[in-house]
Amino acid sequence: MLSLGIDPGTATVGYGLVRELSDGALQAVAYDVITTPAHTPLWERLETIYTSLAAVIRQFQPDRAGVEILFFGKNVTTGINVAHARGVILLALHQAGLPITEYKPAEIKQSLTGYGNADKKQMQEMTRLMLNLDKIPRPDDAADALAVAITDIHSARFNAIGGWQ
Amino acid sequence: MLSLGIDPGTATVGYGLVRELSDGALQAVAYDVITTPAHTPLWERLETIYTSLAAVIRQFQPDRAGVEILFFGKNVTTGINVAHARGVILLALHQAGLPITEYKPAEIKQSLTGYGNADKKQMQEMTRLMLNLDKIPRPDDAADALAVAITDIHSARFNAIGGWQ
């Protein structure tokens, strides 16, 4: 099972592909960021995100996708722009036929560390350990996306065994 | 010149096509709403909006597009969903090669009535008069979209004569 995790943004979209191996171990297949140039119209940035993400999906052929849910900080304008980007991200994933699950930041933290308020450093270190990497993945948005993909695989496993029964 | 005006939403997207005739009169070529079923995942609704809007563009071949700018009311959640829809709307317009201009609600009101705080009834009546229609266009979101298209044509005229010089 190969999951594509997404950390949405307008300037930077993080993505990470995690495979569950037959022994249950997790492997980072690829991770990177899609960046869009500043000072260009929003629709050009949206098209870059959409076409770049579609290319990632074509290349790696994931089985499912996880996308982080937005929460508003103090900057509503930034949140609105990220929601525009998230719209084209969800469109690209759905058009590729991927089952999509959305995860709140606290769910991602809970899934990786057992603690919904884990800090960024703890999360990055757990991501590194769970994927058996030598170093913390960079850039940060790609590491965040890998954490989403790990959460998505945990969620798929949990549902496969029947959930809370 | 044919302008496509858009009133963005998640459940309902209004669109209106307005042509400027050679004598300067304005003609409503088509107007309607794209609706998406409630209680379906956001990504299915986004795909419906994207594909339906692309079909409208293919059918009518507009020269340019105007899109209303979002403002947040009390319901931030609704605003976030509308921003997702607006993302795929901007994507579809840009992919079709249309020049896009965004308009604030007050700019649209100013353009039609000369008054940035015009109420809904005044706006609908001015839209009817400017398009020489017998009745106020329905539904409301389609009428709003026609007002955006009229504003976009006014804006194009204004820029064609050199703007504020």
Chain A residue at shortest CA distance from B95: A47
Q: Is B144 tagged catalytic?
A: no
Q: Is B7 tagged catalytic?
A: yes
Q: Which of the residues B32, B107, B141, B144 is marked catalytic?
A: B141
Query: In the structure encoding, which two tokens stand for residue A66, read together?
Result: 């996880």
Q: Cβ contacts of residue B114 below 8 Å, gap of 6+?
A: none
Cα-Cα-Cα-Cα dihedral of B126, B72, B63, B129, to 10°? 0
The CATH number of whichever domain residue A119 belongs to comes to: 3.30.420.10
Residue A24 lies in a domain: yes
Residue to test with chain A: of B6, B46, B78, most A Cβ within 10 A:
B46
Here the ipTM equals 0.92
State CA B95 to chain mean position distance: 17
Residue A22 lies in a domain: yes
Number of H helices, E strands in chain B: 5, 5
Residue A165 lies in a domain: no
Each residue of B1-19: pLDDT tens digit?
999 999 999 999 999 999 9
Residue B152 lies in a domain: yes
Output the furthest CA–CA distance in chain A (Å, rounded): 51
Residue A129 lies in a domain: yes
In chain B, what percentage of residues exceed pLDDT 70?
97
Please tell me the predicted confidence (pLDDT) of residue A104.
96
* Residue found by looking up tokens 């629709």 in the block: A43
Q: Hey, is the C-beta of B93 within 8 angstroms of any chain A C-beta?
A: yes
Residue A23 lies in a domain: yes
| CA–CA distance, B153 with B59 (Å, rounded to integer) | 20
Are B108 and B68 a contacting pair, CB within 8 Å? yes
Please tell me the predicted confidence (pLDDT) of residue A164.
60
Each residue of B120-138: pLDDT tens digit?
999 999 999 999 999 999 9
Residue B131 lies in a domain: yes
Q: Is B68 tagged catalytic?
A: yes
Confidence band, pLDDT 50/70/90 cuts, at residue B78? confident
Each residue of A65-98: pLDDT tens digit?
999 998 776 677 788 889 999 999 999 999 999 9
Whole-structure pTM value: 0.94
List the beta bridge partners of residue A3. A18, A64
Give the CA count within 13 Å in the CB-facing half-sphere of B119.
Answer: 1
Domain count of chain B? 1
Residues of chain A in contact with residue B100, where contact means CB-CB under 8 angstroms, are 41, 43
Which of A24-28, A80-84, B64-68, B95-99 is the least confident region?
A80-84
Confidence band, pLDDT 50/70/90 cuts, at residue B70? confident
Closest in B50, B76, B87 to A84, CB measured: B87
Please tell me the predicted confidence (pLDDT) of residue A73.
67
Residue B165 lies in a domain: no
Please tell me the predicted confidence (pLDDT) of residue A74.
67
* Residue found by looking up tokens 């959930």 in the block: A163
Q: Hey, is the C-beta of A27 within 8 angstroms of any chain B C-beta?
A: no
Instruction: Give pLDDT < 50 ranges for chain A.
Output: none
Task: Report chain A's mean pLDDT, rounded to a whole number.
Answer: 94
Tell me the residue type at A153: I
Contact A91 B50 (CB under 8 A): yes
Please tell me the predicted confidence (pLDDT) of residue A160.
79
| CA–CA distance, B97 with B115 (Å, rounded to integer) | 32
| CA–CA distance, A67 with A80 (Å, rounded to integer) | 16
Query: For residue A133, what are the domain limits?
Result: 2-160
